[in-house]
Structure 1
Amino acid sequence: MSPRVVAASFVLLALSVTSLASAQTVPSEPPPPEAQTVEPLPPPATAAEPAPLPPAPVVATPSGDAGAIPTDDGAFARRMLRVIGEDARTVRLATGGGLVLTGVGSIAAGVLADASYHQSYGQVLWIGGIAVATSGLVSLFSSTPTEVFARNASTLSPRELEARWAAMAERSRTARKVGGVASVIVGGIAAGTGAALASGAGNLENDSKQAWSVALIAGGAAMLGGGLAAFLVESPLEHGYRAAYGTAAASPDVAVSVAPTTRGAAASLQMRF
């Protein structure tokens, strides 16, 4: 083989290898993407908390008990006492007028029974009528201690007003208890005497016995009921003192409470003497 042929063959072989190598070249990897920075999300918006309320002021009564009904330097107590005084005046006038009318009627009935029918109970009726009418007249023209106290309340300081009211409420309570017990005792005796007369005791005639027995039983029953009511029910002066000064006042004489239980309810009655 001639040298030219050999050289030409080598040249062709080199070109073939070069073209093959260029055809099989592996493409280079794409450049990595640029790093992305992630911004953090803002925190969710929260509603603003309301500002705390200021503590409620604690009001103390003149006696030093906190939490009681404020007296406003005695203004509240004076207003309540004025209402109590007006009610006491209305009750006094109504009671006095009723006693005068009852007394006049008793006097007329007693005089008629004594003079026209010669009944022995006639004298009792007109004498009792005079006493009842007199007490009614005194009630009409004489102010009660509650009215006088209510009129003079504006001249007292808050501390003096509470002290005076407490003393008067205690006196009213004592008089109510004593009067209630006395009324119950007298009413029981009168009703028992009337029952004894109705059963045949005594030397009175039948007509007189019947009249006295009916009068004594009715009057005794009325006194019994009035005495129990006076003993158990507070007077307006006592109730008003408790309402005006809250916890500084004493508890009521009668307290009834009811509480539910697993099988029904339980009731309790509390009394203060």
Structure 2
Amino acid sequence: MEFNRTYKDKDSGVEAEAEKGSQWVVTNTSGGKLTLQDRNDPEKKLQVNPVKVSISAYTAREMELRSGDQVYFRKNDKTRDLINGTAGTVIVENGKASVKTDQGQIVPLHEVKGEVLDYGYAVTTHASQGGTKHTAIPVLTGGGRGMNANLAYVAMTRETHSLEVITDDVEKLGKSICKFSDRQSAIGAAKTEVSPELDEIRQARRAADYELGQAGDLAEKRSLEVEPEQEHIGEQEPEVGIADRKEYQFSSEQEHELELGD
């Protein structure tokens, strides 16, 4: 494990300190605390409460490196201007190893301190983002939720000269990518902003509906009230019998005007 901040033991009464970046080996975890041993000085030990310290845990392993091996760093290191995922080629000269990054930077490897390093022959799609290789061979599964258009784009655009795609089902892979693309297009269309003019019109219509009682509490109240005229809407009027019909007579003769005296 490695300390992310300088640590001083103030609780035990024993003066103990671990510098930022120092690496330790966990030897015991009993009692809810970690008993640590300095990788560079086995005689130096420390007991810490994991809740009160800022540390990063790693699994230690030996790596055999030769000139020409492809590797990449798995941790940000501001002191050496490295970011997680920086790839490069191992160079061994005069018994000392270093890495020449794809950007041309020469990074000496620590002889004593453990490096957060891994082989770079096969990496995940996420780890390959931002990098390029002369030849890329992405391995993409045809089905499942893990594959989509974004990951496929990243995986198939890392090469500068040669690309070969390996998949278990070409048809499923194509459908999976297209389906994700269509869904993303629909989501993007749904997020399209409404023009200010259209939004203002909608607000004005909504305000007018409230004023006229066609929306809001007043509209709901009116919908519960049944108007007398509305009770017979859609019903056929009863047929009027001959006896109930009223006859009107019209005359074409000119009506006499009556003169009223003073």
| Structure 2 length-normalised TM | 0.20
Higher RCO (CA < 8 A, seq sep 6+): 1
Rg (Cα) greater in structure = 1
More strand by share: 2
More helix by share: 1
| Structure 1 length-normalised TM | 0.20
